[in-house]
Structure 1
């Protein structure tokens, strides 16, 4: 390939062209996921790729500030931002355009996002998000519904070896606050817990050290983790988190007894705007597939998390699936057969083939060898004298 052609094909790090087979695979998977969501009452919305900066980065969107591209709108002379996450947009729609709709409000979406940089787990900076948001419900049943819907939808499109990791990212802060630790101490503890550094937790944890170490060691398979958690003396604020985790796990067990569930009692990374029970979806075939959890739709800043209407947004929960990762675990659907329709074939003949499930590729000019032309155009079949014949 000439140097100038190579230069024109070069893309920035973390961005890539999605070529026909991969694009078809993703489109089919997205369509099937949205059909699963719709079957449980979730209605699709489609927010814009770019919004005014102050709207996109308020409430839950503030957590994505460092990952957001910004640009000046030449029309309004106001700063705009390219979405790095769709959830804040759904929250905006729910609390503005759909504020008078009956609650709980069930919405779903699919669309592209763009981020300033990738991560070790996800080097891509542009990818498709698909997900749901359940807004206006406080009950544990709402938490269980979104987890079960995610698992059901992923199973329906063929993702194998699914597991769910539950966490309550607010629990550590509530334990520390209940035991009298200050903000700086809580930050240091958070960093130590993120590293799973027991020595650092013991060194800076003060009165919370022993309890937090117990939470770390208890994390793992759900039944074992919950048995250990039930025996721990928690401050009143954290007790609410324990109760919600217990209730939700019971609902998951009742609905899907065979689902693999783990519990991480100190996880926080990636859940910065969550205000209660949260979860990560995994497959042994591809790793992390998506995340979800509780937040406040339309909230400005961190909500109290006490389950009361405090004027700081509606209670909400939902999940987001990452299609770039998910597709590695989903078998591609068998493509329909492609048949070459030679030049001069009537439109009605080609239409009948499509009605039978074929993909037709029309010849635009006469050729000497229709079978060879079919092979050149990646068709496994060609039409001759009204019959579909196999190439080769």
Structure 2
């Protein structure tokens, strides 16, 4: 038998997981749950009502509207009940769009909804190799205005800062600018692909070769990246197609509104960034924190689809990055409760915020408490004493 077939037939160690997946052990799992709870509480306080989409849906609906951009990231399989193809969600935003367009279609607009859950992707990326991700997000549906864009940006920033994350910055982009310029200069599909590739590499020389008559405008957009004030000054000094000029005006208004709410927040602008914003149709953004590897979240404007001409804007936060960025709380006080201790003593301690570890047999209390990681033990009077 060839060696590769022999390896395939070897038993898999039970601790081995597929690439991009990992177990979360007690401390990490508890901290992530606390982070999610705090984020969802903050969203609820701003009027965003929680919804809970299913883990998988029929392929036709899951990959409609905004979900079409996620087709290559989506696991698909046959549903043994309906005998139809289903997909495991790779992102929760398209599911929320479906809910808004169907189950909540008669709810008054603007509609504000929030969500939290796990998603699964076919493959990770170089920057984010994980294939199972935790998401927390919010969507503002039914309004297309700078005020709506600013609301979700401010909400995302405040929710993250509420976890104790410092050094937050937001990078704003307008994914519709480059397509608008390409249309203005009547570029064919092949030329637009070359332009997009050059912009993604930030290759000014390649962009000049690919853009033809539009090279000066596209080159100006590429060069306009940087701190928000400087970038907006450069963009507003350019002669742009009407559609692109309106996007720049909206971007300037969003920056003004965000600054009014959070004057200390660092804002940058990259007007040509498109990667990861494939289904976005307006001002979009990414959240970063100083000293933290990877993005904390991203969001922006899109159309909900499903036969409805309805705008939405929102954001998704990534719990794996947030748990690396947020400071961890002090460990909870743990007290060992001997087997013959009064039950009401342990209940009183839990009500006061203690973690109680109940003895299951008559062990020597101090030694067993240390072995189980407790900082205190319950004495004969029902009081916690330090070890």
The alignment's TM-score, normalised by the length of structure 1, stands at 0.94
Structure 1 residue 173: deviation in Å?
0.4
Superposition pairs for residues 193-204 of structure 1, below 5 Å? 193-204=199-210
2:149 maps to: 143
Q: Contact 2:101–2:308 at 8 Å: present in 1 too? A: no
1:237 aligns with 2:247: no
SS at structure 2 position matched to 1:244: helix
CA 1:215–1:52: 2 relative to 1, 3 Å: same
Structure 1 residue corresponding to 2:230, chosen from 210, 224, 246 = 224
Unpaired segments of 5 or more residues in structure 1? 300-310
What's the offset of the Cα at 1:247? 1.1
- Counterpart of 2:87 (choices 81, 89, 102) is 81
Query: How far apart, in 2, do the equivalents of 1:361 and 1:230 lie?
Result: 64
Alignment of 1:44 with 2:50, yes or no, is: yes
Secondary structure, in 3 states, of the residue corresponding to 1:317?
Answer: strand
How many Å apart are 1:239 and its aligned residue?
1.5
Task: Map Cα deviations across residues 87-109 of structure 1 (whole Å, 9 max, x no partner).
Answer: 00000111110000010000001
Deviation at 1:6, TM superposition (A): 8.1
2:355 matches 1:355: no
CA contact (8 A) 2:174 2:283 kept: yes
Distance 2:152 2:235 in 1: 24
In 2: Cα distance, 1:53 partner to 1:313 partner: 22
| Correspondence for 1:31 among 25, 37, 44 | 37
2:272 maps to 1:294 = no
Q: Greater CA deviation, 272-281 or 212-221?
A: 212-221
Q: Where do residues 164-203 of structure 1 align in structure 2 (5 Å cutoff)?
A: 164-203=170-209
- For 2:374 and 2:78, locate their aligned partners in 1 and report how far apart those are by CA, in whole Å: 47
CA offset digits 1:22-48 (Å, max 9, x no partner): 011101111111111111100111111
Determine if contact 2:180/2:244 at 8 Å carries over to the other structure: yes
Does the CA contact (< 8 Å) of 1:179 and 1:235 recur in 2?
Answer: no
**Corresponding residue of 2:216:** 210
- In the alignment, what sits opposite 1:377? 372
Q: Distance in 2 between matches of 1:19 and 1:154?
A: 23
Give 1:179 deviation, angstroms.
Answer: 2.0
Measure how far apart 1:285 and its partner are: 2.5
- Partner-residue secondary structure (3-state), 1:88: helix
**Counterpart in 1 of 2:6?**
none
Q: Is residue 341 of structure 2 the alignment partner of residue 345 of structure 1?
A: yes
Counterpart residue number, 2:139 = 133
Cα RMSD, aligned residues only = 1.3
Is residue 318 from structure 1 mapped to residue 314 from structure 2 by the alignment? yes
What are the residue-to-residue correspondences of 1:254-273 with 2, within 5 Å?
A: 254-273=260-279
Q: Conserved in 1, the CA contact under 8 Å of 2:336 and 2:377?
A: yes
Report the counterpart of residue 4 of structure 2 in structure 1: none
Equivalenced residues, count: 376
Q: Is the Cα–Cα contact under 8 Å of residues 178 and 236 in structure 1 kept in the other structure?
A: no
Shift of 1:346: 2.5
Q: What SS does the corresponding residue of 2:13 show, helix, strand or coil? A: helix
Query: Is the 2:178–2:272 Cα contact (8 Å) retained in structure 1?
Result: yes
Distance in 2, Cα, partners of 1:65 & 1:122: 18
Could you tell me how far apart the structure 2 residues matched to 1:56 and 1:231 are?
Answer: 42
List structure 1 segments (4+ residues) > 3 angstroms apart after TM superposition. Answer: none
C-alpha distance 201-63 of structure 1, shift in aligned 2 (>3 A):
same
| Local SS of the residue matching 1:109 | strand
TM-score by length of 2: 0.95
Say if 1:192 and 1:118 are closer, same or farther in 2 by CA, change over 3 A: same
Shift of 1:333: 1.7
